Amino acid sequence: MDRRALLASMLAIRAFEDALAAHSDAGFQLYSSGEEAVAVGVCEALRPVDQLLSSGRSIGPALARGLDPGVVMAELLGRADGPCKGKGGRGHLAQPGAGFFGAHAVVGGNLTIAAGVALAMRMQRAGGIVACIFGDGACGSGALHETMNIAALWKLPLLLVCDDNGWSISTPREAALAARSPADLAAPFGIRAASVDGMDVLAVRDAAAALVAHVRGGAGPAFLVCDAERFSSHSTATRELRSPAAMDAVRARCPIQRLLRTLRDAGALDDAAFAAMERDAGEAAARALAFAERSPPTGVDEIGRDVD
Amino acid sequence: MSTEGAGKVFFAEAIARALRESMERDPRVVILGQDVGRFGGAYREFAGLHARFGDERVRDMPVAEASMVGVGVGAAAAGLRPLVSITYMDFVTLGLDPLVNYGAKLRYKTGGQLAAPVVVKTTAGAKGQGVAHSQSLEAWLVGVAGLKVVAPSTPSDAYGLMLAALAEDGPVVYVDHKRLFPTAGELAHAPAPVPIGRALVRRSGGDVTIATHSYMCRVADAAADRLSAEGIDCEIVDLRTLWPLDVATVAASVARTGALLTLEEGQLACGIGAEVAFRVREEVGRMRVSRLGAARAPVSGNPRLEAATLPRADDVVAAVRRLIDAKANEP
């Protein structure tokens, strides 16, 4: 994917979330805005045969993985045409057939699962690797340490991606993790790690590609830490405690504006072309929303289906 | 299913045989857990499997139950059929997140795209090992939509329920018991899977129905022998599966006897007995009913305290007599 395509991918996520947030029935959401470069850069390093797992902050990862925005929007709005028939929602969005094994809304809860998926894929000679995106809030959980231990012992084809937005809802990482950086956690297990500016999609892409090559080559797991920013509060149900000045500083790191500057400075994109890209992203989001609104609400008879 | 000779086998042998046959038939079946490899399991229930199937399919894991269950559930979601061995049921608490929050919900939350065909095998019950190695927590798991729970009481059912559990397309918790491992029983010449969701009348009698499971079937049987000598005939229904519960079999028995005693080794509060009694009452209407379970106390490793905490045959005899007396006192 060239740099313009990476920009388009980030714009698509931003526009999708803006359209969802403006919807009268948006429901309970955790937005990825600000963290688009992490999902887009990591997915750029993956192949169709690979599987991606994410935390409950799933919209960016799912769209970056290439899921159809219309069916994703349908899932988020509780419609029958969502890949999970509207039963999983954002917290449990999944479409394994498209390489998105799924979100799981328990902090740290998808990590041991990802190790199991990696084990199964290797035993079945599926040829792919597994990437799991989780927040820095999961770094204090035993699940991460158990997962790193077993993944390193068994040399599992697993890329762990810490989307480090610095906050566990209201608790700053400095108050939640004794290690200086999440990347330091990998060292005792002999896991190769890298830290990048998570607002620089090109840096994320390059670091992810190097670690994916390591994992794909059979050398065992790898750990990528992306220093990112959350542009809104933890969720639509959560208060924002950061000051307006702090939020200005956060937004100044915008990954979309950053790549735009790079491309503009290189003479690869002018303002008119960028405006056209923004317009395209907005129209795609509007189409996704229209598709979701046409989709029937999930029927309550679904509570009796696929239970056991 | 099996081509080996009929005859008596110990409980652990029945489990190992079911696993070996399942693994020979289905390359997706793997074993994960603590001490499952060369050691062969805490009760030798995995004996010979590592030698037969190797490191790849019989995997010792660190003593970290959250990852044991999580890796098993994740591998199941991605196409394997793992059995995860959690040595004692007390330690299932450490693996509840992936089991309860992921595995039990996976088929539902993905709209049928994924499922988690995993068996979590664990050993419940008290045998002198103390407050954190003795619990029978199966009632907790019955409260989770998406989980099935089985608890065999004989080697034949240990074999048949293991085959059935490994063939299920969703998570099954397979609960055996420390005091059942020394027991032996007949295994048919061609033993078959035991369907999940079917109770079995172990002993016929017309006076009182005792609904129970796992090792408590043997306690009930000892009590029934003594009561028989006084002319009281107990019917013992071995639940075998705790979810989905075979209410019909218990209700049919209670319809004949008019009296139900539930017996379990776990706590009475929100227990298996409470569930069985209420649902049987819905089916049969009027009945005499009583429950027996552990005292509201941790299960100490001190043998005197342990014995005093758990239901004994004496308690069963007394409870059955009270149910008989209640009939005599009915208007």
Write down the pLDDT at residue B147: 98
Residues in chain B with CB shorter than 8 Å from the CB of A97 are: 113
Reply yes or no on whether B133 is catalytic: yes
Ordered by where they begin, the domains of chain A are 3-290 (3.40.50.970)
Question: Does the beta-carbon distance from B109 to A88 stay under 8 Å?
Answer: yes
Q: Which two tokens stand for residue A132?
A: 């799991």
Q: Average pLDDT, stretch B105-112?
A: 98
Q: How far apart are CA A194 and CA A226, in angstroms?
A: 9
Band of the pLDDT at B4, cuts 50, 70, 90? low
Per-residue pLDDT for B325 more than 80? yes
Count other C-beta atoms under 10 Å from residue A78's C-beta. Answer: 18
The string of pLDDT tens digits covering residues A145-184 is 999 999 999 999 999 999 999 999 999 999 999 999 999 9
Q: Residue A115: which of B67, B113, B147 has the nearest Cβ? A: B67
Per-residue pLDDT for B57 more than 90? yes
Q: Residue A112: which of B98, B112, B146 has the nearest Cβ? A: B98
Write down the pLDDT at residue B5: 58
Tell me, what DSSP letter sits at residue B6?
P
Residues in chain B with CB shorter than 8 Å from the CB of A117 are: 74-75, 77-78
Write down the pLDDT at residue A16: 98
**Is B31 in CB contact (< 8 Å) with chain A?**
no
Write down the pLDDT at residue B191: 85
Per-residue pLDDT for B44 more than 80? yes
Write down the pLDDT at residue B281: 98
**Is A291 in CB contact (< 8 Å) with chain B?**
no
Three-state SS annotation for chain A? CCHHHHHHHHHHHHHHHHHHHCCCCCCCCCCCCCCHHHHHHHHHCCCCCCEEEECCCCHHHHHHCCCCHHHHHHHHCCECCCCCCCCCCHHHCCEHHHCEEEECCCCCCCHHHHHHHHHHHHHCCCCCCEEEEEEHHHCCCHHHHHHHHHHHHCCCCEEEEEEECCEECCEEHHHHCCCCCHHHHHHHHCCEEEEEECCCHHHHHHHHHHHHHHHHCCCCCEEEEEECCCCCCCCCCCCCCCCHHHHHHHHCCCHHHHHHHHHHHCCCCCHHHHHHHHHHHHHHHHHHHHHHHHCCECCHHHHHCCCC
Per-residue pLDDT for B331 more than 80? no
**Is A175 in CB contact (< 8 Å) with chain B?**
no
Q: How far apart are CA B254 and CA B207, in angstroms?
A: 9
Has the ipTM of the complex gone over 0.90? yes
Band of the pLDDT at B35, cuts 50, 70, 90? very high
CA nearest B148 in A: which residue? A308
Question: Does the beta-carbon distance from A308 to B109 stay under 8 Å?
Answer: no
**Is A264 in CB contact (< 8 Å) with chain B?**
no
- Residue B51 corresponds to which amino acid? A
Question: Does the beta-carbon distance from B70 to A307 stay under 8 Å?
Answer: no
The answer for B 73-132 residues in CB contact with A (under 8 A) is: 73-80, 82, 97-98, 101-102, 105, 107-114
The string of pLDDT tens digits covering residues B224-277 is 999 999 999 999 999 999 999 999 999 999 999 999 999 999 999 999 999 999
The string of pLDDT tens digits covering residues B152-196 is 999 999 999 999 999 999 999 999 999 999 999 999 878 899 999
Ordered by where they begin, the domains of chain B are 7-187 (3.40.50.970), 200-328 (3.40.50.920)
The catalytically annotated residue of B50, B133, B177, B213 is: B133
Average pLDDT, chain B: 96
Low-confidence ranges of chain A (pLDDT < 50): none
Q: Residue A123: which of B80, B114, B145 has the nearest Cβ? A: B80
Write down the pLDDT at residue B1: 46
Write down the pLDDT at residue B6: 67
